[in-house]
Amino acid sequence: MSNRVVCREASHAGSWYTASGPQLNAQLEGWLSQVQSTKRPARAIIAPHAGYAYCRSCAAHAYKQVDPSITRRIFILGPSHHVPLSRCALASVDIYRTPLNDLLIDQKIYGELWKTGMFGRMSLQTDEDEHGIEMHLPYTAKAMESHKDEFTIIPLPVGALSESKEQEFGKLFSKYLADPSNLFVVSSDFCHWGQRFRYSYYDESQGEIYRSIEHLDKMGMSIIEQLDPVSFSNYLKKYHNTICGRHPTGVLLNAITELQKNGMNMSFSFLNYAQSSQCRNWQDSSVSYAAGALTVH
């Protein structure tokens, strides 16, 4: 076996966000400085993964709740946009690069997860094509900068899981979620609306299209705040809302349910909601973003 360290490059730097470390650092600092930390320390956050030109300040609301002084491992659950996955996967690299600094993958936890037989492996090529996890790495590096050599990441692409699989993975991750030194990041945008997304649900009683979209998203967000995986699944079946991180969200909700059975008291609050643009007619399109945090009482 060779001990060569394998790195995943910051493949979306220069297109989805700036490749300049100092510039990126200043941008992240600016977005974070405008936000309050009210839900610190977060045990889990949900935040978007679009290009920073679209969702920059939304994600800051979630990352501001991270407490770097206690966080030692960051599990990042993201959807698989490019390849069909029926389970969760592990990256096949050691380091994720960002323009700020390199982030080290926790090989010990990867080893524990691999032993369960529940995970596949993701090729480096697929990994570098995917943006769902990468868009969280600069924010992770920035939120943790005061303790930058004291934490590892556990990137986890999540496939199109059945409800029973979401339960299984929720159970598996619940023991990690129970540990205050772990943080879970769920990478998800909300409604993708318009012809290019093949989704055009419109409830005219809400007024303009963008108001109907907001109403639909907020219905889903309030179900997530109730921490109810079954209601969330039913909501998705009923409205088919194009929430790309619905499976990572389902896994998190199932992990929370598992801990609640053991008497753990938690609450989730959304802190920000935004849309890339306001849809007013059928030719328009938009993507919605939401940021929230889970706290343990």
Mean pLDDT of the chain: 90
For 42, list phi and psi in degrees, rounded to 5. Answer: -75, 140
Is pLDDT above 50 for 295?
yes
CA R_g for the chain: 18
Angle of the 209-225 helix axis to the 229-239 helix axis, nearest 10: 160
21-296: in CATH 3.30.390.50: no
Query: Which DSSP string do the residues of 221-259 spell out, in sequence order?
Result: HHHHHTT-HHHHHHHHHHH----TTHHHHHHHHHHHHHH
State whether the Cα torsion 201-202-205-211 is positive or negative.
positive
Is pLDDT above 70 for 37?
yes
Is pLDDT above 60 for 81?
no
d(CA 56, CA 58): 6
Task: Check residues 3 and 230 and name the one with the higher pLDDT.
Answer: 230
Q: What is the mean pLDDT of residues 71-81?
A: 89
State how far the alpha carbon of 185 is from the alpha carbons of 42, 79, 89, 130, in Å. 10, 12, 16, 16
Half-sphere exposure of 265 toward its Cβ, with a 13 Å CA cutoff?
A: 1
The SS3 assignment for 123 reads coil
Quick one: tokens of 274? 């935004």
Question: Kind and range of the H or E element at 45?
Answer: strand 44-47
Residue 80: alpha-carbon gap to chain centroid? 12
Quick one: tokens of 153? 């990441």
- pLDDT for residue 1: 45
187 closest CA partner among 140, 229, 123, 120: 140
d(CA 186, CA 173): 13
Sheet holding 7-8, edge to edge: 7-8, 95-96, 103-104
Query: For the segment 56-66, what is each residue's pLDDT rounded down to a tens digit?
Result: 689 999 999 99
Is pLDDT above 70 for 224?
yes
This prediction's pTM:
0.94
What distance, in Å, lies between the first and last C-alpha atoms of the chain?
A: 46
Q: Where are the domains of the chain?
A: 21-296
With a CB cutoff of 8 Å and minimum separation 6, the contacts of 150 are 72
Please, which pLDDT band fits residue 15 given cuts at 50, 70 and 90? low
Please, which pLDDT band fits residue 257 given cuts at 50, 70 and 90? very high
- pLDDT for residue 21: 86
Q: What single letter denotes the amino acid at residue 138?
A: P
Q: What is the mean pLDDT of residues 175-194?
A: 97
